[in-house]
Amino acid sequence: DQLDDCLSTINENQLRQIVTYVKTCQPFYIYGRNISSIPAQYMYDILTTLDIPCISIKWIDTLASLSKTIPENSFILLLTEHAHPEYQNILENLHDRGAIVSWICSSPIPNELNKYINIPIYTGQHDEVHNKLSTFLIIQIVIDLLTNTKAP
């Protein structure tokens, strides 16, 4: 069953760590462009409705600029289909500035980029449609964990 396959690849500790960062790091940024902007926007919409502060980024140029000025201990969640080499300088900058990075990617994240990422999550064990569903499922689980652990 494809849902079971997807669920079996999810590391609950990684998702709980994302929840901790969302709750403790400010600012919190969510990045997604092209098709990945859909789960990113979904997460942004739900979190802002729940009064959980976050900032949505949809353009790589904006992400590149932010990577040079991001405050230390900020948390950024990257949602992408591919681990393009153009992300290397951005990830280096984020790392050098002390930002905390989680990258949910449908393609394998190369080792030379992995070293800059606190929580790498690869969803690409399936075909393209299931990769997108996997990303949505991960986002939904994070939202559920956030709402179940939100302080009164």
For 37-85, how does the pLDDT look when each residue is reduced to its tens digit (9 = 90+)? 999 999 999 999 999 999 999 999 999 999 999 999 999 999 998 888 8
CA-based torsion, 125, 126, 127, 129: positive or negative: negative
> What is the model's pLDDT at position 81?
87
**Residues 6 or more apart in contact with residue 64 via CB below 8 angstroms:** 89, 90, 93
Task: Compute φ and ψ for 56, nearest 5 degrees.
Answer: -95, 135
pLDDT bin (cut points 50, 70, 90) of residue 122 is confident
- Of 136 and 76, more confident: 76
Binned at pLDDT 50, 70 and 90, residue 11 comes out as: confident
pLDDT for position 123: 82
